[in-house]
Amino acid sequence: MLREFHYMTPPEGISGKTETPQEKQGGLSADLCELGATGSRDAFARIFAEMAPRLRAFMLKNGLGASAAEEVLQETLLRVWRKAHLFDPEKSSASTWIHTIARNVKIDRLRKEARPEPDPEDPSFIPAAPETGEENMARKQDSALIRKAMSVLPPEQLRIITMSFYEEKSHGEIAEELGVPLGTVKSRIRLAFGKIRAEVEKMQ
Amino acid sequence: MTIRHHIADDTLMAYVGGTLAPSLSVAVATHLAICPRCRDSVAMMEEVASLYLEETEPLSHSEKDKDAALLDQIMATPRTETAEQGAVSSLAGPAIGSVPRPLADYMPVPLDQVPWKRLVPGISHYPLPQPGGKRKGSALRLLKIAPGTRIPEHSHSGQELTLILEGSYIDEIGRFQKGDIADLDNEIHHQPVADTDQDCICLIATDGPLKFSGIFSRLLQPIIGI
Ligand SMILES: [Zn+2]
């Protein structure tokens, strides 16, 4: 499955991994739940060992200076340590939860102000209708399904997702670099996510 | 509240990636607070984004000493008392009335006490402070449209998000009611009209000035000041 995914890998290519992402996810998710429930230092040490080196490499790759990258890494892992009880394995995979924290730390740092976000504690917040057991089952495989769905995207759509999420470029920067109108970038994004949704639904 | 008009995927993606203008991000976050469907899309995009982290290999040289020191430093920090903290933060929040918090954070007064400024008969506005400071061509404002009033025809040189807070309006695209968001880019010319006997109050976030057409509109533009 990883080979089908080659458009989004860094130029060095994929090194031989012994664990599949799913197996790794399982351990990470269990550790994060344990940390949230008991404050286990062992669980946190395992999460740290798994995530810190990869987060650091991810932070450094787009020109964030070494000291800025360390600050983002430190703040991210501190939030993981303090907020693990907020992790809900039904709602996202463990690495997505940690990655989202890292992205927010980085965004807030660049903007010098927190990005506005919905707050589930807000009395005006409207929660989702309670899920059926069946939907819960589907959710747990989303990460694998999404990975698979992305492999069917045409190269020009995958390219734009990679430029957005891996190279962290704005739509305007992408349009300029590819020499296409902004509207084309937007419509490719809409097509890509439409296709990912349709593929995931087909596989469920 | 049944939401029929949602945020386009390209806008959501820019929000998730942190490249969306701060003014537009306020409108997005406010809609997300009331729209489980768009929150699902955000969750999906976050999964997509995190695949790229999974594909990132650690640096070839390891940072064992640095890591060991950082691990010790973090674990020396007390973990927060979860339930209490949550309760305190929700009580300490601003008085929000019926406006979701992402917007309430930028509202100096509650929605029912807004000191509206009249622009032209039937249309008043209230500029909100800009998240992250002033930015050229970027604005966040509330607009109140009296029943039957038509907004002059205009298009956008940048992006505009309109979130309906009260009442409704109708335009070439469809009918927009409370909770609906119109995600328009520069290709669309439209002329919304408040279509019930109630004032239509909406949040308008722009990045890039509006372009009005017609003499009346050109008169209006300097007044709105965008
Ligand atoms: Zn929505």
CA of A37 to the centre of ligand 1 (A): 33
B132 with A111: CB under 8 angstroms?
yes
For the domain B114-224, what is the CATH code? 2.60.120.10
Domain B9-90, CATH 1.10.10 — does that match? yes
Cβ <8 Å between B62 and A115: no
pLDDT per residue as tens, chain A (204 positions): 333 444 444 333 333 344 555 556 678 999 999 999 999 999 999 999 999 999 999 888 877 888 889 999 999 999 999 999 999 888 888 999 999 999 989 888 877 677 899 999 899 999 988 765 555 555 555 778 888 999 999 999 999 999 999 998 999 999 999 999 999 999 999 999 999 999 988 887
Q: What are phi and psi of A150, to 5 degrees?
A: -65, -25
Q: Are B92 and B84 in contact (CB under 8 A)?
A: no
- Single out the residue in A65, A90, A116 at which a domain terminates: A116
pLDDT at residue A62, rounded to an integer: 75
Residues of chain A contacting B163 with CB distance shorter than 8 Å: none
Beta-bridged to residue B162, according to DSSP, are B182, B204
Q: How far is the CA of B177 from the centre of ligand 1 (A)?
A: 12
Q: Is A139 found in the same domain as A74?
A: no
pLDDT band at B162 (very low <50, low <70, confident <90, very high): very high
Instruction: Identify the pLDDT of residue B79.
Output: 82
Averaged pLDDT, B14-36:
94
* C-alpha angle B17-A101-A118 in degrees, rounded to nearest 5: 75
Distance (Å) from the C-alpha of residue B184 to the closest C-alpha of chain A? 11
Higher pLDDT, B138 or B41: B41
Q: Are residue A36 and residue A105 in the same domain, yes or no?
A: yes
Domain boundaries, chain B: 9-90, 114-224
- Quote the domain boundaries for residue A25: 20-116
- Determine phi and psi for B190, rounding to 5 degrees: -145, 165
**B190 has a pLDDT exceeding 80:** no
DSSP states of A130-174 as a string?
PPPHHHHHHHHTHHHHHHHHHTTS-HHHHHHHHHHHTS---HHHH
Would residue A8 count as lying in a domain? Answer: no
Residues A65 and A137 occupy one common structural domain: no
A50 found inside a domain: yes
How many degrees, rounded to 5, is the angle at CA A53 between CA A48 and CA A59?
A: 115
Task: Please indicate whether, in this complex, the C-beta atoms of B54 and A21 are within 8 angstroms of each other.
Answer: yes
Is the fold of B9-90 the same as that of B114-224?
no
CATH of the domain at A157: 1.10.10.10
- Residues A81, A167, single domain; the answer is no
Clarify whether residues A112 and A172 are in a common domain. Answer: no
Q: Which of B25, B46, B48 sits opposite A115 (nearest CB)?
A: B25
Distance B41 CA to ligand 1 centre (A): 9
Residue A124 domain-assigned (yes or no): no
The answer to whether A57 contacts B57, with C-beta atoms less than 8 Å apart, is yes
pLDDT, tens digit (0-9, with 9 covering 90-100), for B42-83: 999 999 999 988 888 888 777 788 888 999 999 998 886 554
ipTM: 0.84
Q: How close, in Å, is residue A204 to chain B by CA atoms? A: 15
Q: With respect to residue A125, please indicate whether it lies within any of the assigned structural domains.
A: no
The chain A residue lying nearest B98, using CA atoms, is A124
CB of B170 closer than 8 Å to CB of B158:
no
Pairwise pLDDT comparison (B91 vs B152), residue with the higher score: B152
Look up the pTM and report it: 0.85
One domain for residues A44 and A108: yes
In a domain, A151, yes or no: yes
Where among A54, A81, A116 does a domain terminate?
Answer: A116
| Rounded Cα–Cα distance for residues A145 and A150 (Å) | 9
Answer yes or no: are the C-beta atoms of B223 and B119 closer than 8 Å. Answer: yes
Task: Please check whether residues A137 and A102 belong to one and the same domain.
Answer: no
The verdict on A111 and A139 lying in the same domain is no
**Angle, to 10 degrees, between the axis of helix B9-17 and the axis of helix B22-34?**
110
Which of A106-110, B143-147, B220-224 shows the lowest per-residue confidence on average (mean pLDDT)?
B220-224
What is the pLDDT at residue A157? 96
- Do A26 and A105 have their domain in common? yes
Evaluate whether B37 touches A128 at the Cβ level (below 8 Å). no
Band (B131; pLDDT cuts 50, 70, 90):
confident
A72-86, B108-122, B141-155, range with the lowest pLDDT: B141-155
Measured between CA atoms, how close is A116 to chain B, in angstroms?
Answer: 6
- Say yes or no: A29 and A111 in one domain: yes
* Amino acid letter, A38: T
Query: Same domain, yes or no, for A144 and A96?
Result: no
Q: Report CB contact under 8 Å: A129, B90.
A: no
pLDDT category at B150 given cuts 50, 70, 90 is confident
Number of domains in chain A: 2
- Residue B134 reports pLDDT greater than 90: no
Which chain B residues are closer than 8 Å to A126 by Cβ?
A: 1, 33-36
A13 occurs within a structural domain: no
Q: Do A125 and B51 touch (CB under 8 A)?
A: no
Q: Which residues of A touch B94 (CB under 8 A)?
A: none
Strands (E), chain B: 117-120, 123-127, 138-145, 154-156, 159-166, 168-170, 175-177, 181-184, 193-194, 200-207, 210-212
**A151 and A82 in a common domain:** no
Q: Do B203 and B142 form a contact (C-beta atoms < 8 A)?
A: yes
User: Distance between alpha carbon A136 and the CA centroid of its chain, in Å?
Assistant: 19
DSSP 8-state assignment for residue B120? E
Q: What is the pLDDT of residue A18?
A: 46
Percent of chain B with pLDDT over 70: 79
Q: CA-based Rg of chain B, rounded to a whole angstrom?
A: 21
Is B77 within 8 Å of A78 when comparing Cβ atoms?
Answer: yes
Establish if A123 belongs to a structural domain.
no
**Closest approach of B74 to chain A, Cα-based (Å):** 6
| pLDDT above 90 coverage of chain B, percent | 46
A178 falls within a domain:
yes
